[in-house]
Structure 1
Amino acid sequence: MAKQTVSGWFSPTSPRVPKDHDQLWKLVDVYSRWAGEKPSRQYWATLVEESRPLPQSAGRALGRPIPEWDPFDLEVHRSIDAGAADAGLQPLPTYIARPHDESLRGAVASAERGSSSIAVLVGESSTGKTRACWEAVRALPMPWRLWHPIEPDRPAALLAALDSGVPPHTVIWLNEIQFYLLPSAGERVAAGLRELLRSPASGPVLVLGTTWPDHWWRLTRQPPPNESDPHAQARQLLDGTDIAVPDSFDAAAMHSLRIASREDPRLATAAQQSQSSSGKVTQFLSGAPNLVERYRNAPRPARAVLDAAVDLRRFDHPVQIPEDLLRRAAASYFSAEEFDILPEDWFEQALDVVCSPARGLPGPLTRARQRPETTGERPAKFRVADFLEQQAREERKNLFPPGALFHSVYTWTDEPEVLHAVAARLHDVGRHRMAALLHHRALTLGHRQSAWPLAELLEMAEDVSGATSILESEAPRRAQQVLDQLARLLARQKRFDDLRALAAVAFDAGTVRLLLAAKREIESNERLSYFDDFFLPLIVRPNSSDDDIRANMQIFHEGAENYTADGNERVRRLKELIETMDPALDVRRKAIEDLDIAVQEAEKAEEKTFARAMMVAALNAEIIGIEKVVGFCGRHGLAEQADAIRRFGVDEDGLPAESWDLELLKAGWLEP
Structure 2
Amino acid sequence: MAVQASGLSKQTVSGWFSQKHPRVPKNPDDLWKLVSIYSSWANERARRPYWEKLLECANAAIIAATPSKALDQRVRDWTDPFALEVHRSISSRERQFDLPSLPAYVRRPHDGLLEDAALEAANGASRISILLGESSTGKTRACWEVLQKIPDSWNLWHPISPSHAEALAVVIDKGIPPRTVLWLNETQLYLDTPASSLGERVAAGLRELLRDPKAGPILILGTMWPKHWGRITRCPAAGGDDRHPQARSLLAGSDILVPSSFLREPLENLKELMKADPRLAEAYKSTKGKKARITQFLAGAPAQMERYLNGPQGARAIVDAAIDLRRFGHAPIIRESLLVEMSSAALDLDELILLGDNWVGESLEYTLTPCKGVSGPLSRVSPILDTAGSDRHYRISDYVEQVGSAARASLLPPSDFPYIVLQNVNELEQLRAIASSLADRGRIFHAAQLYLRASELGDYESGFKLADILDFAKDHVGAIEVVRRHHDAGDPGSAKKLVGYLYESGQIIEVEEICIKEIEHGDARPLVSLREFCDSYDDSATHQHIEGKVLSRKFPDLYSRICSSEDRISNYVQFAIEVSRQLKVSQDEAESLIDAEIEAMMPRLHLINGAMEEEVGELRTATERLHLLVEEGKSDIFHIETVRILQRIEDLQNSGDFAEARNLIDNGLNCGRIGLEVLDVLLSESDSSHLEESALRFGLDWEGDLIGPWALADVRHACHLALGGDE
Corresponding residue for residue 575 of structure 1: 627
2:509 counterpart (475, 497, 500)? 497
Corresponding residue for residue 262 of structure 1: 275
CA gap 1:605/1:331 in 2 versus in 1, 3 angstroms = farther
Q: Deviations over 1:499-542 (max 9, x none)?
A: 00111123334444333433365468899922552222122222
- Which is worse superposed, 592-601 or 312-321? 592-601
- The amino acid across from 1:619 in the alignment is L
Q: What's the secondary structure of 1:200's corresponding residue?
A: coil
- Looking at structure 1, the residues matched to 540 and 258 of structure 2 have their Cα atoms a distance apart, in angstroms, of 62
- Looking at structure 2, the residues matched to 253 and 496 of structure 1 have their Cα atoms a distance apart, in angstroms, of 70
1:253 counterpart (245, 256, 266)? 266
Aligned-residue offset at 1:477: 6.7
2:405 counterpart (393, 397, 405)? 393
Q: Deviations over 1:146-200 (max 9, x none)?
A: 2211122211111121111212222111111111111132111111111222222
2:499 counterpart (479, 487, 496)? 487
Corresponding residue for residue 545 of structure 2: 533
- Looking at structure 1, the residues matched to 430 and 200 of structure 2 have their Cα atoms a distance apart, in angstroms, of 18
- The amino acid across from 2:243 in the alignment is P
Corresponding residue for residue 22 of structure 1: none
Q: Deviations over 1:213-259 (max 9, x none)?
A: 00011111111121111111111111111100000000000000001
Aligned-residue offset at 1:620: 1.9
CA gap 1:358/1:68 in 2 versus in 1, 3 angstroms = same
Counterpart mapping for 1:16-415 below 5 A: 62=71, 64-69=73-78, 70-83=80-93, 87-183=97-193, 184=196, 185-369=198-382, 376-415=388-427
Aligned-residue offset at 1:261: 0.8
- Looking at structure 2, the residues matched to 564 and 492 of structure 1 have their Cα atoms a distance apart, in angstroms, of 23
- The amino acid across from 2:161 in the alignment is E
Number of residue pairs the alignment of both structures matches: 612
- The amino acid across from 1:394 in the alignment is A
Asked whether the 8 Å contact 1:75–1:175 carries over to 2, the reply is: yes
1:418 counterpart (430, 449, 452)? 430
TM norm structure 1: 0.86
- Which is worse superposed, 419-428 or 593-602? 593-602
- Looking at structure 1, the residues matched to 538 and 290 of structure 2 have their Cα atoms a distance apart, in angstroms, of 71
- Looking at structure 2, the residues matched to 448 and 491 of structure 1 have their Cα atoms a distance apart, in angstroms, of 21
Identity between Structure 1 and Structure 2 (%): 35
Aligned-residue offset at 1:645: 1.4
- Looking at structure 2, the residues matched to 86 and 668 of structure 1 have their Cα atoms a distance apart, in angstroms, of 64
- The amino acid across from 1:68 in the alignment is D
Asked whether the 8 Å contact 2:177–2:215 carries over to 1, the reply is: yes
Asked whether the 8 Å contact 1:60–1:166 carries over to 2, the reply is: no
Asked whether the 8 Å contact 2:89–2:298 carries over to 1, the reply is: yes
- Which is worse superposed, 335-344 or 623-632? 335-344
Aligned-residue offset at 1:402: 1.7
Asked whether the 8 Å contact 2:658–2:682 carries over to 1, the reply is: no
- Looking at structure 1, the residues matched to 537 and 100 of structure 2 have their Cα atoms a distance apart, in angstroms, of 78
- Looking at structure 1, the residues matched to 349 and 693 of structure 2 have their Cα atoms a distance apart, in angstroms, of 33
Q: Deviations over 1:306-352 (max 9, x none)?
A: 11100100011000100011100111212344335441222222112
- Looking at structure 2, the residues matched to 302 and 59 of structure 1 have their Cα atoms a distance apart, in angstroms, of 41
Aligned-residue offset at 1:659: 3.3
Counterpart mapping for 1:511-530 below 5 A: 511-519=523-531, 521-522=533-534, 529-530=541-542
Q: What's the secondary structure of 2:128's corresponding residue?
A: strand
Corresponding residue for residue 625 of structure 1: 675
Q: Deviations over 1:465-484 (max 9, x none)?
A: 11101111222577676333
Unmatched 5+ stretches in structure 1: 1-57
Instruction: Note if 1:459 corresponds to 2:471.
Output: yes
Aligned-residue offset at 1:298: 2.3
- Which is worse superposed, 114-123 or 477-486? 477-486
- Looking at structure 2, the residues matched to 551 and 145 of structure 1 have their Cα atoms a distance apart, in angstroms, of 51
- Looking at structure 2, the residues matched to 318 and 550 of structure 1 have their Cα atoms a distance apart, in angstroms, of 50
Corresponding residue for residue 469 of structure 1: 481
CA gap 1:570/1:151 in 2 versus in 1, 3 angstroms = closer
Corresponding residue for residue 597 of structure 2: 545
CA gap 1:562/1:664 in 2 versus in 1, 3 angstroms = same
- Looking at structure 1, the residues matched to 666 and 163 of structure 2 have their Cα atoms a distance apart, in angstroms, of 38
- Looking at structure 2, the residues matched to 144 and 552 of structure 1 have their Cα atoms a distance apart, in angstroms, of 53
Instruction: Note if 1:613 corresponds to 2:622.
Output: no
Asked whether the 8 Å contact 2:70–2:157 carries over to 1, the reply is: no
- Which is worse superposed, 397-406 or 128-137? 397-406
- Which is worse superposed, 430-439 or 606-615? 606-615
- The amino acid across from 1:628 in the alignment is V
1:431 counterpart (417, 435, 443)? 443
- The amino acid across from 2:133 in the alignment is G
Corresponding residue for residue 34 of structure 1: none
Aligned-residue offset at 1:489: 1.1
CA gap 1:327/1:580 in 2 versus in 1, 3 angstroms = closer
- The amino acid across from 1:400 in the alignment is L
CA gap 1:246/1:660 in 2 versus in 1, 3 angstroms = same
Asked whether the 8 Å contact 2:335–2:392 carries over to 1, the reply is: yes
Counterpart mapping for 1:582-601 below 5 A: 583-584=635-636, 587-601=637-651
CA gap 1:313/1:61 in 2 versus in 1, 3 angstroms = closer
Asked whether the 8 Å contact 2:143–2:221 carries over to 1, the reply is: yes
Corresponding residue for residue 55 of structure 1: none
Corresponding residue for residue 703 of structure 2: 653
- Looking at structure 2, the residues matched to 558 and 417 of structure 1 have their Cα atoms a distance apart, in angstroms, of 32
Unmatched 5+ stretches in structure 2: 1-66, 555-592
Aligned-residue offset at 1:601: 4.4
- Which is worse superposed, 157-166 or 241-250? 157-166
- Which is worse superposed, 408-417 or 128-137? 408-417
Corresponding residue for residue 35 of structure 1: none
CA gap 1:446/1:259 in 2 versus in 1, 3 angstroms = same
- The amino acid across from 1:634 in the alignment is S
- Which is worse superposed, 627-636 or 238-247? 627-636
Aligned-residue offset at 1:557: 4.2
- Which is worse superposed, 593-602 or 162-171? 593-602
Q: Deviations over 1:380-428 (max 9, x none)?
A: 0111100110111111111222221221111012222221221122122
CA gap 1:614/1:336 in 2 versus in 1, 3 angstroms = farther
CA gap 1:234/1:559 in 2 versus in 1, 3 angstroms = closer
CA gap 1:84/1:379 in 2 versus in 1, 3 angstroms = farther
- The amino acid across from 2:247 in the alignment is A
Q: What's the secondary structure of 1:514's corresponding residue?
A: helix
- Which is worse superposed, 118-127 or 457-466? 457-466
- Looking at structure 2, the residues matched to 178 and 389 of structure 1 have their Cα atoms a distance apart, in angstroms, of 17
